[in-house]
Amino acid sequence: MPVPQHIFEPPFNIIRSSHVVLDVTDLKLSRAFYETTVGLHVEDADDKVVYLRAAEEHQHHSLVLRKAAAPACARLGFKVGNDKDLDKAAAFLSENSLAYAFADQPFQGRTLQFTDPFGFQIELYAAMDKRPHLLRRYDLYRGCHPQRLDHFNVFAAEVQDTVDFYARLGFRLTEYAEEDGPNGRIAAAWMHRKGNVHDFAITNGKGPRLHHFAYWTPTAMNIIHLCDVMASSGFVKNIERGPGRHGISNAFFLYVRDPDGHRLELYTSDYFTGDHDHEPLRWSLRDPRRQTLWGAPAPRSWFEQGSPFTGQTVREPKFVADVLVAD
């Protein structure tokens, strides 16, 4: 299937992945997990919602937890360049017959919300309340010392169409996994805006669902330390995969599940992709190094489980990718 062409003058300017909004069933337990075990910092909270951020972030929040009857992903948030980009985004959505609305969101400036053609619920904003970063407040560090939100990874039922849509918005392909042969189909794609491997990864599967969101940590030792923290804080069974290293992105990783099953990746050691002539790297779908350069292979849950988007119907994928799955 075709690799999309890079577009350097998109219809509006998305800067980077910014924040995720999750519905959780036990707000107190989820807050404790993300604040005390993982190590995010609570900025504001009440009995219905908790706003958290990582040490390096100036923005008010990169994770929003909302109390709900059932777990789900409510929104994926992206920051745009300026307020005019929100109007340009609205024009693009209107021209492509996609519904949108401007919504008031706490601690954010004007926010545009829409559902893309594949059921992923997105919000865009240009301005968010600022907070002093906590990078040098080592006295506040907990868990794995998360520094910043890095990316989202989703299950898409129509992976090629989803890749093509986000390429139109200026997302640039860095790495992809493809079936072998002359008619090989792309089964996963890693796309970026900010100049590293990805802001948005798109994986073939039942969708729309969130596979995971990821925070960057300073070193691999921080990730290993989180394993010790989880083992001693009652969450050892929530460690799903890792630690290990991906071939794709070169990431040193750990995947954990929060109390509602939302998947979080802790992540470090990827690389710079900002040059305009950066060529995407192809991986054979049958190459086990793409998933696991070293470490235990991915369990079946990692391929099959994810968080639905609030109110969206999950669809079967257009094709079933032949991937290597650990028994």
Query: Is residue 250 one of the residues assigned to a domain?
Result: yes
What pLDDT, on the 0 to 100 scale, is given for residue 273? 96
- Do 82 and 160 fall into the same domain? no
The whole-number average pLDDT for the span 264-291 is: 94
Kindly list the distances between the CA atom of residue 100 and the CA atoms of 113, 151, 170, 291, in Å, as whole numbers in the listed order. Answer: 6, 23, 19, 36
- Do 154 and 298 fall into the same domain? yes
Query: Is residue 78 one of the residues assigned to a domain?
Result: yes
Query: Is residue 195 one of the residues assigned to a domain?
Result: yes
Dist CA 283 CA 70 (whole Å): 37
The whole-number average pLDDT for the span 309-323 is: 92
Query: Is residue 185 one of the residues assigned to a domain?
Result: yes
Write out the residue range of the structural domain in which residue 123 sits.
Answer: 14-131
The SS3 of residue 54 is coil
327 has pLDDT over 60: no
- Do 153 and 30 fall into the same domain? no
What pLDDT, on the 0 to 100 scale, is given for residue 322? 77
In angstroms and rounded to an integer, the radius of gyration of the C-alpha atoms of the chain is 19
Dist CA 199 CA 78 (whole Å): 9
- Do 49 and 159 fall into the same domain? no
* 92-137 tens-digit pLDDT: 999 999 999 999 999 999 999 999 999 999 999 999 999 998 999 9
Residue 146 near residue 40, CB atoms below 8 Å: yes
Dist CA 304 CA 134 (whole Å): 36
Q: Residue 185 sits in a domain of what CATH number?
A: 3.10.180.10
Dist CA 269 CA 223 (whole Å): 12
Query: Is residue 280 one of the residues assigned to a domain?
Result: yes
What pLDDT, on the 0 to 100 scale, is given for residue 183? 87
Per-residue pLDDT band for 326 (boundaries 50, 70, 90) equals low
What pLDDT, on the 0 to 100 scale, is given for residue 1? 59
The SS3 of residue 238 is helix
* 11-68 tens-digit pLDDT: 999 999 999 999 999 999 999 999 999 999 999 999 999 999 999 999 999 999 999 9
Residue bearing tokens 């099959």: 304
240 has pLDDT over 60: yes
Query: Is residue 119 one of the residues assigned to a domain?
Result: yes
Question: What pTM did the predictor assign?
Answer: 0.96
Query: Is residue 42 one of the residues assigned to a domain?
Result: yes
- Do 103 and 159 fall into the same domain? no
Dist CA 62 CA 151 (whole Å): 11
Torsion region of 217: left, alpha or beta (phi above 0 gives left; psi -120 to 50 gives alpha) = beta
Residue 1 CB burial class (10 angstroms; 0-12, 13-18, ≥19): middle
